[in-house]
């Protein structure tokens, strides 16, 4: 089953075709109100561990290893992954993140992980 899944910076305005908007960062993004975020869920427990996040530091040369390590964390985080999979079974989900780098962040890695499970 292919999931209807998008990834988007939380600073972009909500759109009608976002479906259920899920913030997947451990820390609330600066300058974003709860109203602007328009979230269905803040699933902070699916975010990378603090140790992994700090090690990665959004360094593109660490991206491949970050994806591998984060995937291993997700493998051991069945409850949070199941929560997202349940939402995806209901319809479109947009994973939201606050990082500046749109190609190398936990939401992109999480989307790849979920698509691999699909």
Average pLDDT of the chain is 95
Q: How confident is the model at residue 1 (pLDDT cuts 50, 70, 90)?
A: low
Say whether 11 sits in a helix, a strand or coil: coil
- The residue segments making up the domain with residue 27 are 5-117
Mean pLDDT over 41-63 rounds to 96
Task: Please check the confidence at residue 68 and state whether its pLDDT lies above 70.
Answer: yes
Domain count, the chain: 1
Rounded to whole angstroms, the Cα distance separating 97 from 11 reads: 9
Q: The tokens of 92 are what?
A: 């479109």
Q: In what order do the strands lie in the sheet with 93-97?
A: 5-9, 93-97, 20-23, 41-42
Tens of pLDDT along 13-42?
Answer: 999 999 999 999 999 999 999 999 999 999
Look-up of token digits 């360094």:
59
Q: How confident is the model at residue 3 (pLDDT cuts 50, 70, 90)?
A: confident
């Amino acid at each position: 089953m292919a999931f209807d899944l998008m990834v988007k910076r939380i600073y972009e305005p909500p759109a009608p075709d976002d479906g259920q908007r899920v913030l997947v960062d451990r820390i609330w993004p600066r300058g974003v109100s709860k109203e602007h975020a328009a979230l269905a869920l803040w699933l902070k427990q699916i975010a990378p561990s603090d140790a992994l996040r700090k090690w990665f530091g959004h360094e593109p040369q660490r991206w491949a290893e970050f994806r591998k390590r984060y995937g291993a964390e997700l493998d051991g985080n069945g409850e949070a992954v199941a929560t997202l999979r349940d939402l995806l079974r209901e319809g479109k989900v947009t994973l939201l993140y606050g990082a500046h780098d749109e190609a190398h962040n936990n939401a992109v890695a999480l989307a790849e992980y979920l698509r691999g499970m699909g």
